[in-house]
Structures are given as structure tokens and as C-alpha cells.
Amino acid sequence: MKNIYDYSLEQLTEYFALIKQKPFRAKQVFSWLYQKDAQSFEDMSDLSKDLRNQLNEEFTLDVLKIKEKQVSRDGTIKYLFELLDGSLIESVLMIHDYGRSLCVTSQVGCNMKCTFCASGLLNKQRNLTAGEIVAQIIKVQEDVGQRISHVVVMGTGEPFDNYDNVMDFVRIINHPHGLAIGARHITISTCGLIDGINKYSEEGIQTNLAISLHAPNDEIRNELMPINKVYPMDDLREAVSNYISKTNRRVTFEYILLKDINDDIIYARQLAHYLRGLNAYVNLIPYNSVDEHGYQPSSKEQAEIFKSELLRLHINVTMRKEHGRDIDGACGQLRAKRNGVK
């Protein structure tokens, strides 16, 4: 069975032409899927019964199901989803003063092997389709009964290692007849795949780019993020600079603060030097400890010292509010536990 959420409006239009149906049927179905929250093809009351039966035979809306749900005291909800093939993935809903933000997963497992990250505890098994990423939003909206206003592709997997499906996903949720989530409310986070950044700079969409940096120099980044040995920091900086020039968009650099690893004030100065001249800001992230890796979060005092030094050196910086500390908050933790990783 085909996943109906894999289809863009254009692809649905082509499908209906193929089965000798009027093109406007595609907009009707799209509206039912994304505006009217149809739970089944039977709900699509303005389609003929024969057409609904045909769609029911060829497509499914039941792309994933909630396997487990953890609710934090701060309102954060972590979902463990089961896909049709039995694979498990995670999404995290965070409540902000500006709306509800969903962190979605783009791959089953991850091959980037960042040493602090729970996502890499299980190797990549496959890419998610565009529809499987879309379905995470649909299912969460259905579960909480409220609209998702912001989306970050920052869960398990490297989005630019699944480039085409992620871009199709973005176009579907951004489409005015789709979920109509504004481009500037969509963020894609990469660990630094330069080829992906270069392609992304040519897309012509006003979505946001975030770079998982997490280190002030190549020596530390090589230890934390093996991808740095392929795409070192100078090359990454050049790609980001080119992206900013082409898109006129500001870039976020994510920096997880790890005790005695990357949180010394000297490293704040190195980071400021690296970023000088870029239209960028730093998002400092308190670390959610992963037992398997042994890293510890920086103290609040040290985190404030690091942040203050960046501000002194005229670097725009924010400290991310902690979410889900009392649940399996780090990407991949819940899935790894359910797959028997200790």
C-alpha cells in the first residue's frame, strides 16, 4: 500500500489525471488530509463512493502508530512511533510561548556517530519517506488536538543524508493547501554535510538552517563528531558563508555544553573568532546525559560564564530552555531502550 502523505499536491494531481479524474480532486483530498484532519478516506464526503473505495484500495493514512508516550512535568511530550515495517522512531513536542514546536526524525537510526548523541546508538537502517516525516506531525496534532506551529528536523538522523525526502516533506508542510506551516517556522539541522548545505542554498525557500557545531576547533570536533574529519571546520565555515550570501538568511550554530570538554572560557573565545563576520548566532544547549557515553552537562555557573564571554565578544547567543529533563529527553534515548541498547 502507498502512503498518501508521500504525495505532493502536484503528484496527487498527476495521479488523478492517470485515473481519469478531474484535477480539482487533488485539492479536495489535500484539503481533507491537512486542513480537515480526515482520519480515513470515508471521511472525504465530497468524493464519490467509488473514488473513496479506489483510494482506500491503493493508499493508507495509517502510516504510524503511537507505541509509547512520555509526558514531562514541563509539558514536553516524547513520542515513540512504530512504522508499518515495525521500525521505531521518535518525535518530541515542546511547548513555547510562541507556539508548539515538533522535533521530527528523518531516518531510522543514524550513521553520523556523534559521540555524545543517543541517536547513533543504533545504526541507520533506512531513510524515512517524506510521508513518514509528515505523518509524525499529523499524528501529534491528532493526539494533542492542537496545531503544530513550528517544526525542526532535528531528531534522529542526518536530514541532508536524506536530502530529497526531507525537501519533499518541507514543501508539503509549507504548501498553503497542506499544513501551511510558514517557511520561517521550519528549521533543518545538519551536522555539517557540505554538499547538502550547497544544494540547500539553491532551493529558494526561506526555511532556517542550523549547524550542529558543538566544538570551537577541529581537534575537539574530530573527537565529538567524526563527520568533521570529512568536512573540517574551515570548509564548513566557507559553505555556511556561501549559504548566507545566496539566501540572506541568518544561520544558527548549535553548541551542546559538555563539562570539561568544550565549556572552558578559552573555547568561547575560539568560537567567537570562528563565527566573526558571519550572520549567525549561537544556541547554547544544556546536555541531556546519555548513560552510554559518559559525558556530563556543564554546570549552570560555567554555562553562564561561557555565554557571557560570547556576549562580551559581540556574538549573538541564546541559552536553550531545557525540555524533558525528567523523561528520555535526548534524541534516540527512548528508541534505543526499546531496542535493547543498555
pLDDT at residue 210, as a whole number: 98
**Does residue 75 have a known ligand-binding role?**
no
Catalytic residue among 132, 191, 309, 331: 331
pLDDT at residue 67, as a whole number: 97
Please report how the helices 265-275 and 300-312 are oriented relative to each other, as an axis angle in degrees rounded to 10. 40
Task: Give the number of other CB atoms < 10 A from CB of residue 37.
Answer: 13
pLDDT at residue 325, as a whole number: 66
Q: Which residues pair with 90 in a beta bridge?
A: 80
List pLDDT tens digits, range 168-223: 999 999 999 999 999 999 999 999 999 999 999 999 999 999 999 999 999 999 99
pLDDT at residue 272, as a whole number: 98
For residues 22 and 154, what is the distance between their CA atoms, to the nearest angstrom? 38
> CB-side exposure of 312: number of CA atoms within 13 Å?
9
* Three-state SS at 257: strand
What's the average model confidence in pLDDT over 232-261?
Answer: 97
Is residue 37 within 8 Å of 18, Cβ to Cβ?
no
pLDDT at residue 321, as a whole number: 80
Helix (H) or strand (E) holding 253: strand 251-257
Catalytic residue among 90, 103, 132, 191: 90
pLDDT at residue 18, as a whole number: 95
Residue with cell 494531481: 13
* Residue in 252, 322, 237, 236 with CA at minimum distance from that of residue 285: 322
Helix (H) or strand (E) holding 91: strand 88-96
Cell of 53: 473505495
**Does residue 40 have a known ligand-binding role?**
no
List pLDDT tens digits, range 53-62: 999 999 999 9
**Does residue 213 have a known ligand-binding role?**
yes
For residues 339 and 4, what is the distance between their CA atoms, to the nearest angstrom? 28
**Does residue 145 have a known ligand-binding role?**
no
pLDDT at residue 334, as a whole number: 59
pLDDT at residue 342, as a whole number: 40
Is residue 128 within 8 Å of 163, Cβ to Cβ?
no
Cell of 98: 510562541
What's the average model confidence in pLDDT over 299-315?
Answer: 97
**Does residue 117 have a known ligand-binding role?**
yes
Q: Please give the single-letter amino acid code of residue 10.
A: E
Contacts with 251 (C-beta within 8 Å, 6 or more apart), sequence order: 209, 210, 211, 240, 243, 244, 278, 279, 280
Residue 320: band (very low, low, confident or very high) from pLDDT cuts 50, 70, 90: confident
Domains in the chain, ordered, with CATH?
2-60 (1.10.150.530), 64-338 (3.20.20.70)
- The answer, yes or no, to whether residue 49 has pLDDT greater than 90, is yes
* Whole-structure pTM value: 0.93
pLDDT at residue 99, as a whole number: 93
Catalytic residue status for 103:
no
Q: Please give the single-letter amino acid code of residue 26.
A: A
- In Å, what is the CA distance from 250 to each residue of 84, 186, 247, 274? 38, 13, 9, 16
Q: Percent of the chain scored above 70 by pLDDT?
A: 93
pLDDT at residue 118, as a whole number: 79
pLDDT at residue 139, as a whole number: 97
Residue 324: band (very low, low, confident or very high) from pLDDT cuts 50, 70, 90: low
Contacts with 230 (C-beta within 8 Å, 6 or more apart), sequence order: none
Of residues 264 and 292, more confidence is placed in 264
The length of the chain is: 342
List pLDDT tens digits, range 254-274: 999 999 999 999 999 999 999
Residue 331: band (very low, low, confident or very high) from pLDDT cuts 50, 70, 90: low
* Three-state SS at 239: helix
- The answer, yes or no, to whether residue 335 has pLDDT greater than 60, is no
What's the average model confidence in pLDDT over 237-254?
Answer: 97
**Does residue 236 have a known ligand-binding role?**
no
**What stretches of the chain show up as alpha helix (H) in DSSP?**
9-18, 24-34, 49-58, 130-144, 163-174, 194-200, 218-224, 233-247, 265-275, 300-312, 333-338
pLDDT at residue 289, as a whole number: 77
**Does residue 288 have a known ligand-binding role?**
yes
* Residue in 1, 6, 19 with CA at minimum distance from that of residue 58: 1
List pLDDT tens digits, range 87-112: 999 999 999 999 999 999 999 999 99
